[in-house]
Amino acid sequence: MTDVVSPSTLMPALVGIPLIAAVVSILLPRTRLGDISHIFFASLQLTIAVCLGLSLLTKDSSAVYRYALGGWQAPLGIDLALDGFSAIMLLLTAILCLVLTIYSMFFFRVPGDTKRFWPLWWLLFTGLNALFLAADAFNIFVALELISLSAVSLVAVEGTRAALIAALRYLFVSLLGSVCYLLGVALIYRSYGLLDLSSLSQVILPGAVSWCALALISLGLLLKTALLPLHFWLPSTHGSASPPVSAVLSALVVKASFYLLARYWLDVLYPATTGMALQLLGVLGACAIMWGSYQALQARRLKYLVAYSTVAQLGYLFLLFPLVTNAGPGMGFSSAAFQAVGYFIVAHGLAKAAMFLAVGNIKQGMGHDNIDQLKGIAASHPLSVFTFAIAGASLIGLPPSGGFIAKWLLLNAAIEQTQWLWVFVIVVGGLGAALYVFRVLSIAFDNSGAPIKPEAAHNDVPARVMAGCGVALAVLVMLWGFSAQWGLDLLLEGTGSRVQQLAAGVTI
């Protein structure tokens, strides 16, 4: 790079900023200055993510950004890389980080909680940013562990017995997943002597080693992504954490391991994949949609309903795999199915975060979240019920939400390939989501019972800001439904470059 102020020099900042914020939050516990610093760091992170996204969108060539840390190039050094897929994930992370940070400032008002919460919170975002920028199989392991350890601790910050037990189970699942992943990487390194993902994707050959590596890496990441039947840990973990933590776990942390699955299956280890295995992932995804929706319908607590809805919605992501069959290495990233799933990740991330915040507000106002006892809450918590309804509309896939566009793209991809089974799954899954969302809404708007008495005053300034954060995310879900094109363009940026090179004659 001869250009001194190349945008790629901003990439390490995305890892550095939350790391600095974590240190600062230890030095400035619960002061006005501490609050300002949280907002400052979250805004800075968002600004840089937007800059990177914009420069990726507007540059002429379609190459990816790479940054060699300390000037050491791969294979010895550890590179950072940025393409459209990572840029979208980083943007989603930064947006959610800003909104949820504001929410958390008002949610954690007891000094004891904040002292433990903030450093872990920022370390989690350090891990997420590092993961989305990583171009190296081992660096990914480190980022995964950083995410797991801070996410588990964030669940445990809640402090109740249920949360601690959920955190311990989550820790075991995470450690098991990481160890499996690492063994997969060790097998690859043993045979190929490489860790850099883009170099690996050019030398991987089908064979026993790459099959074993793919199986181990997939098992590890599927555990972390909670695909049915490995979802057993998710509802209790996401259901017992505090609202901002549940939001970030459902919206980002499970997507991070899915992001890696997509990278390994469509690109790095593509030669080791088989059509059968891709179909199997799709079938498991379809089962997750059905089972998650059914469990959400049965749930007795609102938070568990939302958590099971995450199990169901994660199933849609896995429809990506059967719908990209017959592509070459890296070609899957320019397919219609990938665009649909990328769009879906953002729509679900925003909607699910909004939903967890709304549920958190309702729980704080009412003192509980038993669905049967929530009659008429639309009157006492209008903004939170509004947020829940908008987020629910996106999960169902009603226009004009982001979820509608995502499902429409996914349906299109399935119809184009005349894979009618997946069309059926998508439609039925939407109906399932409609059932559990309307189950809650019909109770919320039911004024027949005795007038409810919220336990705490829910109309003070913090409560209003917290409700406002939920509404802000709900509005973003709607906006995402309107701004389809730039998102799709950004997703294609860089990820499709190899395809263009392959489609001979195109000069870059």
Partner 1 sequence: MLTQSMIYSLSGVTLFSIGLWGLISVPQILKKIMAVNMMGMGVFMVLVASAERPGVVDPVPHAMVLTGIVVAVAGTALALALVCKIHALNGVQGDNEDD
For partner 1, the binding residues in 57-86 under the rule CB under 8 A are 76
Is residue 145 at the binding interface for partner 1, with CB under 8 A as the rule?
yes
Is residue 142 at the binding interface for partner 1, with CB under 8 A as the rule?
yes
Which tokens sit at 247?
Answer: 């939001």
Is residue 178 at the binding interface for partner 1, with CB under 8 A as the rule?
yes
Is residue 277 at the binding interface for partner 1, with CB under 8 A as the rule?
no
CB nearer to partner 1: give 183 or 475.
183
Sign of CA dihedral 365, 151, 46, 111: positive
Is residue 169 at the binding interface for partner 1, with CB under 8 A as the rule?
yes
Is residue 153 at the binding interface for partner 1, with CB under 8 A as the rule?
yes
CB nearer to partner 1: give 15 or 467.
15
CB nearer to partner 1: give 165 or 297.
165
Q: Can you tell me whether residue 268 is helix, strand or coil?
A: helix
In b/e form, how buried is each residue of 347-377, taking b as 16+ CB within 10 angstroms? bbbbbbbbbbbbbbbbbbbbeebebeebbbb
* DSSP, res 327: -
- Report, in Å, the least distance between residue 164 CB and partner 1: 5
Q: At what angle do helices 84-107 and 254-263 cross, to 10 degrees?
A: 170
Instruction: For residue 454, say if its preceding peptide bond is cis, omega within 30 degrees of 0.
Output: no
Instruction: For residue 7, say if its preceding peptide bond is cis, omega within 30 degrees of 0.
Output: no
CA distance 394 to 404: 6
Within its chain, how far is the Cα of 167 from the centroid? Answer: 19
Among 59, 109, 190, 368, binds partner 1 (CB under 8 A): 190
Is residue 306 at the binding interface for partner 1, with CB under 8 A as the rule?
no
Is residue 176 at the binding interface for partner 1, with CB under 8 A as the rule?
yes
Among 10, 156, 197, 440, binds partner 1 (CB under 8 A): 156
| 67 phi/psi in degrees, rounded to 5 | -130, 125
Among 186, 383, 434, 465, binds partner 1 (CB under 8 A): 186
CB nearer to partner 1: give 215 or 475.
215
Interface stretch with partner 1, choices 111-119, 135-143, 436-444, 463-471 (CB under 8 A)? 135-143
- Report, in Å, the least distance between residue 299 CB and partner 1: 20
Among 72, 172, 420, 424, binds partner 1 (CB under 8 A): 172
Instruction: Please tell me the count of residues contacting partner 1 according to CB under 8 A.
Output: 30
In b/e form, how buried is each residue of 15-39, taking b as 16+ CB within 10 angstroms? bebbbbbbebbeebebeeebbebbe
Q: Which amino acid is at 143?
A: A
Interface stretch with partner 1, choices 176-184, 201-209, 262-270, 291-299 (CB under 8 A)? 176-184
CB nearer to partner 1: give 78 or 472.
78
Is residue 280 at the binding interface for partner 1, with CB under 8 A as the rule?
no
Interface stretch with partner 1, choices 24-32, 162-170, 292-300, 379-387 (CB under 8 A)? 162-170
- Report, in Å, the least distance between residue 75 CB and partner 1: 8
CA proximity to 214, closest of 201, 232, 230 = 201
Among 193, 229, 367, 382, binds partner 1 (CB under 8 A): 193
Residue 215: Cβ-neighbour burial (10 angstroms; 0-12, 13-18, 19+)? middle
Is residue 242 at the binding interface for partner 1, with CB under 8 A as the rule?
no
Is residue 161 at the binding interface for partner 1, with CB under 8 A as the rule?
yes
Interface stretch with partner 1, choices 57-65, 182-190, 359-367, 411-419 (CB under 8 A)? 182-190
Is residue 179 at the binding interface for partner 1, with CB under 8 A as the rule?
yes
Among 15, 95, 99, 187, binds partner 1 (CB under 8 A): 187
CB nearer to partner 1: give 179 or 503.
179
CB nearer to partner 1: give 159 or 399.
159
Host H or E run for residue 79: strand 79-82
The per-type count for the chain, helices as H runs and strands as E runs, is 22, 2
Residue 294: Cβ-neighbour burial (10 angstroms; 0-12, 13-18, 19+)? middle
**For residue 86, how many C-alpha atoms fall within 13 Å in the half-sphere facing its CB?**
23
CA distance 61 to 80: 19
CA proximity to 213, closest of 262, 255, 264, 176 = 264
CB nearer to partner 1: give 37 or 148.
148
- Report, in Å, the least distance between residue 277 CB and partner 1: 21
Q: Are 159 and 56 in contact (CB under 8 A)?
A: no
CA distance 217 to 48: 31
Residues lying near partner 1 in the complex (CB under 8 A): 76, 138, 141-142, 145, 148-149, 152-153, 156, 161, 164-165, 167-169, 171-172, 175-176, 178-179, 182-183, 186-187, 189-190, 193, 195
